[in-house]
Amino acid sequence: MEFSTIIDAIHQLPEQSKLKLIRSVQEVTFPKGYSLLKAGTVETRIYFIKKGIVRAYASTPDNEITFWFGKEGQAIISMRSYVEELPGYEDIELLEACELYELKTEQLQHLFEEDIHIANWGRKFAEQELIKTEERLIQRQFRTASERYKELLLNHPDLIQRIQLGHIASYLGITQVSLSRIRAELK
């Protein structure tokens, strides 16, 4: 997915502003299994997925709890690092080899100061990320694992083909055995 398309999906920009933003990113690639962000560190970059799949998770003494998957067109960001410049909560692992657009937070802040259109784009970006977080929280609190799986199938059927069942079960907050039962019931 082209960065121009990702920009437009967040908020339309005048051409000059859009070009400034495009010139500020660098394309990077990382292999499957790479740890892009690590919990407990301050992240100074935002990434946008050109190609590939990632997962955000938190580690507990007993296991890893996946709480988000990202795919083409989506942002990879530690909001805590971005907003407060404090260590983030999440680890981000690449589930496929990924092509990413990398944007340094410092560079983005500079663009916000010099271009009101980019500042408004940044506000819309932060608002969309907040809504995604709110939706994940509500989904986790008020829907059963079976309902969440059906919603995943409906809204992101491609993820089911690209992500290990163990990660999907973790995302749903259930065991792989329970996920197998849910899948069998849906057939």
**187 pLDDT above the threshold of 80:** no
pLDDT at position 143 = 87
**Segment 104-140, tens digit of pLDDT:** 999 999 999 999 999 999 999 999 999 998 988 888 8
User: Is there a contact between 47 and 75 (Cβ–Cβ < 8 Å)?
Assistant: yes
* Angstrom distance (rounded) from CA 37 to CA 41: 8
Residue 141: count other Cβ atoms within 10 Å of its Cβ. Answer: 7
Is 15 or 135 the better-scoring residue by pLDDT? 15
* Angstrom distance (rounded) from CA 169 to CA 94: 17
pLDDT at position 86 = 95
**Segment 25-38, tens digit of pLDDT:** 999 999 999 999 99
User: Is there a contact between 156 and 71 (Cβ–Cβ < 8 Å)?
Assistant: yes
- β-bridge pairing 35-37 and 45-51: unpaired
Angle at 40 between CA 35 and CA 41, to 5 degrees: 70
Q: What is the CATH number of the domain that holds 77?
A: 2.60.120.10
pLDDT at position 60 = 86
Asked if residue 107 is part of any domain, the answer here is: yes
Asked if residue 7 is part of any domain, the answer here is: yes
**Segment 39-92, tens digit of pLDDT:** 999 999 999 999 999 999 998 888 889 989 999 999 999 999 999 999 999 999
- What residues are paired with 101 via a beta bridge? 27, 48
Asked if residue 89 is part of any domain, the answer here is: yes
How many structural domains are present in the chain?
1
Asked if residue 151 is part of any domain, the answer here is: no
Three-state DSSP at 70 gives strand
pLDDT at position 141 = 85
User: Which is nearest to 9 in space by CA: 129, 105, 94?
Assistant: 129
pLDDT at position 78 = 93
Asked if residue 69 is part of any domain, the answer here is: yes
Asked if residue 106 is part of any domain, the answer here is: yes
Angle between helices 15-23 and 116-142 (to 10 degrees): 70
In eight-state DSSP terms, residue 101 is E
pLDDT at position 136 = 85
Query: What is the token pair recorded at 72?
Result: 């083409």
Task: Note down the domain range covering 106.
Answer: 3-142
Asked if residue 163 is part of any domain, the answer here is: no
Asked if residue 126 is part of any domain, the answer here is: yes
